[in-house]
Structure formats: structure tokens, C-alpha cells
Structure 1
């Protein structure tokens, strides 16, 4: 897996928070007596937004149409321009259509023209922050978010914008503080989703899963619940539990059958389980629904791994020539592994110089430098990517290969084995290469004390042998056991503890009672 899959659904949650702040809660005019009519699609989208929930895409489209029509007759309505801009941004993010972003920018700037920021137009400023984040312009997103926070510190939708911006800039401490402030100000699925992201970034896997289960249980709409269940699938996949991930993605797709992130997640889980034909089918569906740069790269590598080189090259070319936002990491990794590594270095150095210093950019730049024949410089970036806390099999594999190139045999063996322990099928290409690299390094000397020997990768013959009770743990300092199952009940609002429970059963339970198939 080439990128951090949780980030896309988390970003959508942040854009939805901005829509919640800007949407107009209008009430249909009642004629005569009797109960009010049921809400129409546009009103459903507005009600969902005010609850901090994702609206169904058809309802979101109806809201856009409704505001466009209203504004033709009332062009001086700054609040409606802000709501329209936020809705464009959310739709563009959720369907991967960048054409909505210029529309969003025009609407938001028109809102500020009708009512400037100096006169308190916070909604348009929030919208511009979310739009900058959707475009991957983290510095601008941070500036808008901090303006709103300064003007109205209690305005909770500012904090998802800031969390995304800080993460994109690699300022994880600021992101954690913003997450804590968001929890003080607001409750609900969007807040628990943010908590899951923060725990994941620190390597606290059990806590991340518990918070994501809370988000699924608290979701207000099928669209939001599908996003939450897809996030649970991502977490299961990242810790190497392909079968559990498959079940969680399946739960999401039963709610929203064309949910793009879950189609992509199910494709990678099926590939990890060896069900290649089904995986290729789902990749085709995912790319038709949500053609993101990271999905093109991942699908292309599966095609390459199974010998379908022509199809792989077509996807790589589509990625290489597309007009993408937030595509620098995927394009850099494409050049590093399947093109010109020197070009990847130039691209990713430019991204780093922009201040975009997330672990994803650090890892990609380190890998590009290694592939371009500069392993010594690569090592610092690779260590930065793995030191933050996120437990990524791909990042750890990259570090191991860089160390192997530098002749650091012990650390290389340790990190290559660790990558395969985190997720033994993390990539259709690179998992196999990690195994080959370990074979090339050879066995450890018999003279090495047993307590210093690393645990063998999951699934290997040696992994089945009895383990010494003093084997070293891989969990981050201060974190719960990294590979423990999630426990407790959903919607607890706290870290899981107590009796162990199956993550799949818990996610299915979270889905029940909310599905309206």
C-alpha cells in the first residue's frame, strides 16, 4: 500500500465539518394545518451537515442545485455562497473530481465580496481553508484555519481544517493538540474519527480501532457510517489482518455499494488473500468511482505483480500524465520505482521545500534518493518517516532496504522482518522483495544470543515455533500492545480495555441498526 489510506476519508470528514458550519437550515413553508412534509434531498443534506454527518451524494447534489437556483435570484446572500462553496469542495473530495474546486473557490470568494472577513464572514474563511486542504495546500489551509480560530476559538469546524493542515506539514504535535481541543468542543462521529487518526499516527492501534468503532456507532447517515466502516477496514489492513479488513469493507459496501475507498480497500484485501481476479475486478470498479493517484499506483502494481504488464503501464501512464491535486507522493513513488528516480527526487524535494513534511513525503523522498543511488542521504528521511509512531509496513521496508544498501546488516534484517510482521502482504510487489532481501542477507549467526534475535515474520515456518516469553515487543513506548484485538464496546468515547472482542464482530454490530438497505 503506497499511501496512508485513512487520510482520504478523514479529509472528507473535515470538509463535511465545514459544510456543517455553513449550511442553511431552512424549513419548508407550511400551508394549512397538519404535520410537516418529509424533508426533501436538499433539506436532508442540510440536516446531515448540521449534525456533522456526511450526506448521501445525491442529497449533496440536490443541495448544490438548490443553492445555485436560490443565488440566481438572491446574488447578495453571502451565507448561501459560503454554503455552496463548501458543498462543491465536499463533492469534489468525495468523488475525486477536481473540477469542483474552481467552482468552490469562486463561490467562496463571492461570499467574501458580499461580506468581507473583517465584517465577520467566518464561514467563507472556513470554506477556503477546507478547499486549500482538499488541494493539498497545507500552508494556506493552516493560515485560514488559524484566522478562524483566533476570531472564534470555540468554532469547532475550524479544528478539522487545522488537523489536516498540521498533519500535511508534519507538525504532529500541533495536530494532536488540535484534536484534543476538538474533543472539548464537540462530540459525535467526526470527533471520534479524528481521535482514531491521532491514535493511528502515534502507533496506538487498539485505541485507534476503538475510536473508529465509536465513530461507526455514532454515525448519523449511511454515507457517514460507510466512511467509518471503511476506516475500520483500513486499520485492519494496516495491521495485516486482510480477512478482517475484507469483512469491514463489505459492511461499508452493503450500506453504500459504490463507496470508493471501500472498493479500493476490498481490492487490496482480496489481493492480500490471493483472490487476484476478484481484486482486479474491484480495482476497476474503484478507479471508475474514485480515480485517485494512489489508487492508480496500487492497482498498477498489482497488475504488474501478476504479469499483466500492458495494463500496468496504462495505469502508470494515466498517473504520470494526469492533472492531480495531492498527487506528489504517488507520482514520486511511481518515478522512483517505475520511471526516473532522479525525477522523483526533484519532485519530492520541491514538495519538501514547500513545507510539506509529513511522514508520507519523508518516506517517499528517502526512497527516491535511495533509488537514485544516494542511500546515505536517504537514510535520514527514512528514519524520520518511521520514528514518528505510525506503524507502516511500507515505510519500514523502505528503511530496511536503505540500511541494506549501506551495509548495515543487523538493522536491515530487523526492519525487513518488522515490515513483514506488521503486514506480510503489504504490497503485491514489495512484500515479495522484502522476503527476497531477507534471504539475501542470510541467517543470523548461531552465536547471537536468543534474546537478541528478532521475532520471525508472521506466516513463516519459524513463527509457528514456541516463543520465549521474554521476546521483545514492537509496541511504541507508552502505547497498548500493538497487535492486540480491539476490546470494549463502541461509542465508549475512551480507549478500549478489558475483555477482548473480535474487531469484525464489533464493526458488524456498529453497522446493524443503522443500515437502511
Structure 2
């Protein structure tokens, strides 16, 4: 027995004069508190996938290492690496249920898995893991706060994403990985000024492919197309893994498609798929571009393969519209039914698909329902994409004056609508045509076809028909009283 313990025995009141019985009650209370915490974590463990037989790790770098960079730094990762990371962190939290860091990484990996596969059933798993991390470490848990922000963005709940990301920023304003999450959130709620200012702060803190790619998105929204393309090209060149490079190439393909550079877009999508065969967004991009180039059979094959591997409602909408443009109404209807099923599934996973469903209903379903849905979305997160969709839905219900207000907002640089979009210009032109504002209508319909002559298998031909019906602008005569010198 040490002198210190002997001294406590002599005094008999080191614990404030507590009797043995009171001390036993104190110990019992501590045990019960610890037991309650263990029960909460135990409940989380019950929801983990079943434990599999131990497999000896292969020599060389751990396969989950690249995916760990993905979930902590926001860069694309290969699907097998994500699966390996999820397996690794699942084993860790089973062995150490109080490991808040592993719970946070597991939750963030589930978020990325949901994004890559369009399987929104991963999102409740992600939320459970992230909230377990916050229970284990309620204060200063930056990884879990960032994971919750990423999850909210994946679910298209941008106000919640902003709240979580700002909470993470309060914990550590110097951690650069929080700023891309804030940029996504601010863009989603329509605060484009905050998005630009946040990018400037990010660029002062860090450089690298992830920052370049985030800058490209902000540049594109401002209408700086060349800057956006150059920034993404730099990101792809500086990528550290094939999957990361594929991710930036796929986004480069999207930008090339948006500006009508179809063959360039196709090359980007092809390169991305060679690097990462599981990147279904690139495969859908192939389908979109091949259809625009008139290679319809190849386009249908690409879309079908993408949808088979990644049941995305956006892919289903694009394939349905391609079928409809070919006069295959029954095949289009199958895709539209699939879209509704996928949206229902996404809703169960906590995803807000109001924007996509509003766009779909406006053209292929119930325009009145689209207006109601998109008005609510505008009240929740008023971004330019929602303004454009609501304006088009109002046009489809015959409310042309109000439709014009939203269509102008979507294309007004003062409100963040600097992006040059063929679809936005087409919507604005058709609304102006309905209001018999023939000059502006002609100008905006021409702009849509100039940006991308094949921007939609349904709407690009409609724009051409409308321009043909409008004819050439009338010749303006010499103003009365004017004379030629």
C-alpha cells in the first residue's frame, strides 16, 4: 500500500465523508451511466452488416486507403475501394464501439457509396453511423459534422447541409475540407455571393485537384466557361488515382456537352470509363452524346447499361425522352414508370427529388402538380435550377406572366443566373413566344441552339420549329423625317 493510500485510510474522509454505502451507490450510478452509453452504441452495432469470416489482407497498400482520401478530402474513388473501406471500418467499430472516428468515416463512406450507386438505402445507414459518432463524441467531432453536411447535400437538403457545414467551420475554421461542403450548400440555397466568397477562402487555404474542381463548378455558374474547363483539365492532370482522374474527366465531359462540343464530350466520357468502368455517370454521358450525334443504337445501349448498374431517375428521364423522340411511346412510358419507382425509393432514403420530379411532371405528367411541388421547393431552397423549373412548369399551366419572372431570374446574372444553359434559354424563349414578345423570343431560341444545337432530343427540335414559324425578323424602315446624306 502506498503512503498516499495509507493517508486516505487514516483520514477516512478523502471522498468527502461518504459512508461505504454511499460510495457503493456512486459506483452503481457510474456503472449504470456507462451501461446506457454502451446500449446506444450496441444498438448501432446491431444495424451493421453481418460479420464475415476473416480474410488475410493482401500485401501492398491497403485497398481502402484511396477511398479514405475520398471521404475525407472529397475526391472520387473507385467503387471496390469504397467497399473495402466500409468493410474495414465496420470491423473496427465492432471491435471498438467507442471509436468515434471510425464511425464517422463509416458514415461518410456510406454517403459516397450511395452517390456512386444511386442506392439511397445507404443514406439511412450513413446517418445512423454519423449520429452514433456524435453520441460517442458530442463535442468537437469535426469528421461527423462534415459527414452530416455531405449527407444532407446528397439528399438535396441544402439548408441542413449549410447548418452542418457551418457547425464544422466553428470547430476548426482552418480545415479546408469544410469549405467545399459550404460551397455546395450555398449554391443549393441560391446564395451565390456566399458561394463565391467561400471559394476565395478555400483557395487561400489549399490547392489541389479537389479545389480546382470546386472552382470549376463556381466558374461555370458565373458563365466563365473557359475558366471552368481549364480548371477541370488541371484537376484531371493533377489527380493521384485513376478513379479520381476519371471523376474529373466525367465532369469535363458534362461541361463540353453543355457548350455543344459533342465530340470533345464523348472523348472525355470514353476516357473516364476506361479509367473507371463503374462510373455510370460517364456511361449516361456517352448515351446523351451519342444520341445527339445520331448514333441512336449505341446511345440506347449506353443508357440501358448505365441504368442497369445504377438506377438513377435522371438516367431514366433521359432515356424515356430519347424513346419518345423516336416515337417509341410505350418504351418511354416504361422508363417514366421506372422513374416514379426510383423517386419513391429515394424518398424513403430521405432524398428530396422535388426538382427532378417537378421537371418530369411539367413535361410528361401533371403540370399543376409540378407547379405546387416546385413552389414548395423554391420556398425551401431557391436556386437558379429551381427558378428555371418553376418557370417552365408555370408556362405549361398557361401562367405566362409569372413564368416569365422565374425564367428571367434563372438567366439573370444579378441573381446568380450567369450560367449559359441551352435549356434555360429555350424555356425563356418559349415563354416569351407565348406572350407574343417575338423579338426576345427569337433571340433566346437562337441562343439555345447556338449554345448546344442538340441540347434535348425533344426540345431542340421544338426550338427549331418555333424559330421556323417565327420567320425572319421584320425589316425596320427608315424613321420618319430621316434623310440619307
Q: TM-score of the superposition, structure 1-length normalised?
A: 0.77
Give the aligned partner of residue 38 of structure 1.
60
Q: How far 1:72 moved relative to its partner?
A: 1.0
Q: What pairs with 1:61-140 in structure 2 (closer than 5 Å)?
A: 61-116=83-138, 119-140=139-160
Matched-pair contact (CA < 8 Å) for 1:168–1:358: yes
Matched-pair contact (CA < 8 Å) for 2:86–2:106: yes
Q: Aligned partners of 2:198, 2:217: CA distance in 1, in Å?
A: 12
Give the alignment partner of residue 337 of structure 1, picking from 344, 360, 363. 363
1:390 is paired with a residue whose SS is: coil
Instruction: Answer yes or no: is 1:433 the counterpart of 2:462.
Output: yes
Give the aligned partner of residue 424 of structure 1.
453
Q: How far 1:442 moved relative to its partner?
A: 1.8
Give the alignment partner of residue 322 of structure 2, picking from 296, 302, 305. 302
Q: How far 1:55 moved relative to its partner?
A: 2.5
Q: How far 1:94 moved relative to its partner?
A: 1.4
Q: Aligned partners of 1:179, 1:289: CA distance in 2, in Å?
A: 34
> Deviation per CA, 1:443-469, whole angstroms, max 9, x where unpaired?
1113379xxxxxxxxxxxxxxxxxxxx
Q: How far 1:40 moved relative to its partner?
A: 2.4
Give the aligned partner of residue 19 of structure 1.
none
Q: Which has the higher helix share?
A: 2
Matched-pair contact (CA < 8 Å) for 1:138–1:169: yes
Q: What pairs with 1:267-346 in structure 2 (closer than 5 Å)?
A: 267-322=287-342, 323=344, 324=346, 325-346=351-372
Q: TM-score of the superposition, structure 2-length normalised?
A: 0.82
Give the aligned partner of residue 220 of structure 1.
240
Matched-pair contact (CA < 8 Å) for 1:48–1:220: no
Of structures 1 and 2, the one scoring higher in RCO (CA 8 A, sep 6+) is 1
Give the alignment partner of residue 251 of structure 2, picking from 213, 231, 248. 231
- Tell me: CA distance 1:390–1:113, structure 2 relative to 1, closer, same or farther (3 Å): same
Q: How far 1:151 moved relative to its partner?
A: 2.3
Give the aligned partner of residue 79 of structure 2.
57
Matched-pair contact (CA < 8 Å) for 2:116–2:279: no
> Deviation per CA, 1:72-116, whole angstroms, max 9, x where unpaired?
121011111111111111111111110110001110111111110
Give the aligned partner of residue 261 of structure 1.
281
- Tell me: CA distance 1:243–1:448, structure 2 relative to 1, closer, same or farther (3 Å): farther
Give the aligned partner of residue 248 of structure 1.
268
Q: Aligned partners of 1:57, 1:372: CA distance in 2, in Å?
A: 43
Give the aligned partner of residue 406 of structure 2.
381
Q: Greater CA deviation, 218-227 or 321-330?
A: 321-330
Larger radius of gyration: 2
Q: How far 1:376 moved relative to its partner?
A: 0.6
1:332 is paired with a residue whose SS is: helix
Q: Aligned partners of 2:360, 2:74: CA distance in 1, in Å?
A: 36
1:41 is paired with a residue whose SS is: coil
- Tell me: CA distance 1:392–1:326, structure 2 relative to 1, closer, same or farther (3 Å): farther
Q: How far 1:52 moved relative to its partner?
A: 5.4
Instruction: Answer yes or no: is 1:405 the counterpart of 2:431.
Output: no
1:129 is paired with a residue whose SS is: helix
> Deviation per CA, 1:1-52, whole angstroms, max 9, x where unpaired?
xxxxxxxxxxxxxxxxxxxxxxxxxxxxxxxxxxx95112123433565675
Q: Aligned partners of 2:78, 2:360: CA distance in 1, in Å?
A: 33
Q: Aligned partners of 1:45, 1:411: CA distance in 2, in Å?
A: 50
Give the aligned partner of residue 393 of structure 1.
422
- Tell me: CA distance 1:175–1:301, structure 2 relative to 1, closer, same or farther (3 Å): same
Q: How far 1:285 moved relative to its partner?
A: 1.1
Give the aligned partner of residue 379 of structure 2.
353
Q: Aligned partners of 1:77, 1:437: CA distance in 2, in Å?
A: 62
2:454 is paired with a residue whose SS is: coil
> Deviation per CA, 1:462-494, whole angstroms, max 9, x where unpaired?
xxxxxxxxxxxxxxxxxxxxxxxxxxxxxxxxx
Matched-pair contact (CA < 8 Å) for 1:396–1:415: yes
1:335 is paired with a residue whose SS is: helix
Matched-pair contact (CA < 8 Å) for 1:331–1:344: yes
Q: How far 1:357 moved relative to its partner?
A: 1.1
Give the aligned partner of residue 172 of structure 2.
152
Q: Greater CA deviation, 424-433 or 37-46?
A: 37-46
Matched-pair contact (CA < 8 Å) for 1:52–1:188: no
Q: Aligned partners of 1:98, 1:45: CA distance in 2, in Å?
A: 19
Give the aligned partner of residue 367 of structure 1.
392
Contiguous gaps of at least 5 residues in structure 1: 1-35, 450-517
Q: What pairs with 1:405-484 in structure 2 (closer than 5 Å)?
A: 405-447=434-476
Matched-pair contact (CA < 8 Å) for 2:71–2:105: no
Q: Aligned partners of 2:73, 2:369: CA distance in 1, in Å?
A: 45
Q: Aligned partners of 2:184, 2:129: CA distance in 1, in Å?
A: 22
